[in-house]
Amino acid sequence: MAHLLIVEDDELLRDGLAAQLGQAGHQVATAANGALGQTLLETSRFDGVVLDLGLPVMDGMHLLRWIRQRQLALPVLILTARDGVEDRVEGLNAGADDYLTKPFSMAELEARLGAMLRRSRLPAFGGSLEMPTGRLRLDATQPLAWLDDEPLELTQREWSLLSLLVANAGQVVGREDVLAVWQSDPNDSTNTGSNALEVYVHRLRRKLADSGLNIRNVRGLGYMLETTTP
Ligand code: CA
């Protein structure tokens, strides 16, 4: 769980984001303009910020610069318009950690936020991830995992794929969500080819062969981690 601040003037989007991230287990505060966001940042401690750039009273870029002058390490994900290439570049130059172009899917937002929080070494998923069966355990910040307390040999990419599947166990994780996490991972410099995902899923399946866990291919949608033990 992380303490997140959403600064967004579009009421529908703001409420939708707050509800979704709240359901994902995060503690969420919201602000409808840059000045209110600034006040909240002055009075509370946050683990991450979702920041719209087009805001009334104080715009998002101004607030981003203000954040960077005071809190160098606070992860910030900016939201920009589809045609806002210059905004995106300016935002990243001003110290944003990642960006999403509107409209975006909630699944992608959650995947990118999770990756951003993991990178900042904050307990996005409470420090470790565990399957309901308790046999598989993953460190939430480093590429480490254990099956029945025996270390599993995983590459960075296998670990981030498995983290995403465990965090969403029993739900479908979209192919594009996995690829988005890989692409935003600074520890992962390998190119993401179109067949790469199948290859990594195949490898993970073999490593999980006797674990009572299966990675199911949900045709046209993505992958789902499920327990196979009776
Ligand atoms: Ca806006």
pLDDT digit string, tens, across residues 204-229: 999 998 888 999 999 888 999 998 86
Structure tokens at 91: 């935002």
| Ligand 1 mean position, distance from CA 88 (Å) | 14
Q: Return d(Cα 228, Cα 174) in angstroms, integer.
A: 21
| Ligand 1 mean position, distance from CA 106 (Å) | 17
Backbone torsions φ then ψ of 225, nearest 5 degrees? -90, 125
Tell me which fold the domain 128-227 belongs to: Arc Repressor Mutant, subunit A (1.10.10)
Task: Evaluate whether 103 touches 197 at the Cβ level (below 8 Å).
Answer: no
Mean pLDDT of 6-18: 95
Mean pLDDT of 22-35: 94
15 Cβ contact partners less than 8 Å away, ≥ 6 residues apart: 30
3-state secondary structure of 224: strand
Can you give the pLDDT at residue 117? 82
Nearest 10 degrees: CA dihedral of 147, 132, 120, 105? Answer: 120
Would you place residue 126 in the very low, low, confident or very high pLDDT band (cuts 50, 70, 90)? very low
Look over the chain and give the mean of its residue pLDDT values, rounded to a whole number.
85
Question: Can you give the residue ranges of every domain in the chain?
Answer: 3-120, 128-227
Q: Which of 25-39, 80-94, 154-168 reaches the highest mean pLDDT? A: 25-39
| Ligand 1 mean position, distance from CA 33 (Å) | 9
Structure tokens at 150: 């025996």
pLDDT tops 50 at residue 125: no
Can you give the pLDDT at residue 210? 83
Task: Evaluate whether 132 touches 213 at the Cβ level (below 8 Å).
Answer: no
Would you place residue 175 in the very low, low, confident or very high pLDDT band (cuts 50, 70, 90)? confident
| Ligand 1 mean position, distance from CA 9 (Å) | 5
CATH superfamily of 3-120: Response regulator (3.40.50.2300)
**Ligand 1 ion: nearby residues, β-carbon < 5 Å:** 9, 52, 54
| Ligand 1 mean position, distance from CA 75 (Å) | 20
Would you place residue 148 in the very low, low, confident or very high pLDDT band (cuts 50, 70, 90)? confident
Can you give the pLDDT at residue 194? 55
